[in-house]
Amino acid sequence: MNYTAATRVLTHVGAMEMLRAAIAKAEEIGQPQCIVIVDAAGDVVAEVRMTGAKFLSRKSALTKALTVASAGTPTTAVPEGVRPAIAAATGGRVTGLPGGLPIRIDGVLMGGIGVGSGTGDQDVAVAEAALRAVGAAI
Amino acid sequence: MNYTAATRVLTHVGAMEMLRAAIAKAEEIGQPQCIVIVDAAGDVVAEVRMTGAKFLSRKSALTKALTVASAGTPTTAVPEGVRPAIAAATGGRVTGLPGGLPIRIDGVLMGGIGVGSGTGDQDVAVAEAALRAVGAAI
Amino acid sequence: MNYTAATRVLTHVGAMEMLRAAIAKAEEIGQPQCIVIVDAAGDVVAEVRMTGAKFLSRKSALTKALTVASAGTPTTAVPEGVRPAIAAATGGRVTGLPGGLPIRIDGVLMGGIGVGSGTGDQDVAVAEAALRAVGAAI
Amino acid sequence: MNYTAATRVLTHVGAMEMLRAAIAKAEEIGQPQCIVIVDAAGDVVAEVRMTGAKFLSRKSALTKALTVASAGTPTTAVPEGVRPAIAAATGGRVTGLPGGLPIRIDGVLMGGIGVGSGTGDQDVAVAEAALRAVGAAI
């Protein structure tokens, strides 16, 4: 391996387009959501808390985004048997709750999106709408 | 949706009246309580720790108040199967313990009250007394 | 004073429009920024970290937003002589750094915007552009 | 010294009477306040955030109450020269900002009251009103 390596990052333009599409989907299904987008290092790029969303869902949406940006797989892929142990060992930063999906574009893991305030199915639908808007893998 | 929206907030006058009624009920049943009232954003408006109450119940009473102010439903409405996962994903801010009730007046969710130190039934009874005192929905 | 009081809140539609205008201004002056918008209780409604912005400016932008949402005046209005003492007494949540402006629409304090990563003048210019986009007072 | 010693504590009845008097004074001078009352161990007995008060003043009011409950003297008695060092060494729990007064009744230090959101003079006036209401030393 060389000393440096090429990569690609999600820009704020991409993140804002994801928020726009996520909000549109949330409005379409009538469920206000908290939506958090983090980069490959787990740092927030953009987020929004829609009017009427549960405020504590900001916390769980961030946790979902962190989980998937780190692992590269949906939150639901965290094996059920180890969820409590992994959550405890990471200071509560890993969750198996549905609504977290990795952002992978052209094969590169660029971060994660976490959505919370609705049912698991609603959260996933909003996250998928955001991924589609920027051509990310579903 | 416009840039701004009308809403109503619980005043400190309402919160103090809730504390008064809650203390009266707690004294009536002979169980000192920790009582915490938060607004719709989860910030404390008023609280009291009655002489003889368990001091750690301040923590659980706050958690109960946060849970219901965020979700708009009693703490006991958090589905049992997901309680540990949601608690972990929110940094311990969601609980299913009885004693947390949303403050909804004239149809507007204005926050939550959390009561702790007694049995679940006692905690709920004190919270309900506080809600009745300001004309909030039970 | 009654138990409840009427007020108005900034919606996510308003907050997203503020982010859009702030990003446009930041691009115009060629300075990537971290932009944080909080409500009247200090909770984040929306935020973005532009590509190329300093990542620690997310922290200072949030602090700026909290300062102004709490006090209702620009960060620079915090008296110089007491800045260290107030910062210490609030756990670092108050700052006198330029780039924080209150969001006041139709006379109602609805929160604050904090901008960081540029010079003080650049931060203020971006915050002002956001306020203008939603008809807030400058 | 014997193995145990008699003492006296501030009850929630005393703390609620202090809040009542403090609110009345704050309304009289037209300045909404955050008011925090802690016991001799620094734990909150009662608090209120009046409608219109700065929300960050909850933090500084608590810090003021902790400072005086621990030291037994007003916050302003903390020597100016050592304020930054003591604040740093206590994790920000000591402040020299005016508005914190010890609660001493019949010569016994029972805790502290911290008031914040107004000018230093306003904060002190509200704290003194609370002390007078329960016959505490000024």
Domains of chain A in sequence order? 12-133 (3.30.450.150)
Interchain contact, D51 vs B23, CB within 8 Å? no
Q: Write the DSSP symbol of residue D31.
A: -
In this prediction, residue B1 has a pLDDT band, given cuts at 50, 70 and 90, of confident
pLDDT value at position C61? 98
C90–D63 C-beta distance less than 8 A: yes
Distances in Å between the Cα of D14 and the Cα atoms of A46, B37, C16, D129 are 47, 19, 47, 13
Cβ distance C105 to B3 less than 8 Å, yes or no, reads: yes
DSSP secondary structure letter of residue B96? -
- CA atoms within 13 A of residue C133's CA, in its CB half-sphere: 22
List the single best residue of B10, B51, B55 to mutate versus D (max D Cβ within 10 A). B51
| Vertex C41 angle, CA A58 and B106, to 5° | 90
Q: How much of chain B, in percent, has pLDDT values that exceed 70?
A: 100
Reported as half-sphere exposure (CB side, CA atoms, 13 A), residue D56 has a value of 24
Instruction: Provide the pLDDT confidence category of residue C24 given band limits of 50, 70 and 90.
Output: very high
- Percent of chain D with pLDDT strictly greater than 90: 99
C7 to each of C71, D51, D105, how far by Cα in Å? 17, 11, 41
Which residues does residue D111 pair with via DSSP β-bridges, in sequence order?
A: D39, D103
Strand order in the sheet with A108-116: A100-105, A108-116, A34-39, A44-49, C44-49, C34-39, C108-116, C100-105
HSE, CB side, 13 Å, CA atoms: give it for residue C7.
Answer: 22
The reply to whether ipTM tops 0.90 is yes
D107 or C1, which is more confident = D107
Candidates A20, A43, A48; nearest CB to C15? A48
Q: What backbone torsions phi and psi does residue D51 show, to the nearest 5 degrees?
A: -60, 120
pLDDT at A1: 87
**Chain A neighbors (3+ CB pairs < 8 Å):** B, C
Q: pLDDT tens-digit profile of A36-86?
A: 999 999 999 999 999 999 999 999 999 999 999 999 999 999 999 999 999
Q: What is the pLDDT of residue C71?
A: 96
Q: Hey, which residues 52-111 in chain B have their CB within 8 Å of chain C?
A: 105-106, 108, 110
CA distance C103 to C113: 7
A75/A101 Cα distance (integer angstroms): 7
Contact B6 C1 (CB under 8 A): no
SS3 C30: coil
Give C106's contacts in chain B (Cβ within 8 Å).
4
Q: How far apart are CA D54 and CA A62, in angstroms?
A: 28
What is the pLDDT, as a whole number, of residue C1?
84
What is the C-alpha to C-alpha distance for residues C86 and C64, in angstroms, rounded to an integer?
A: 13
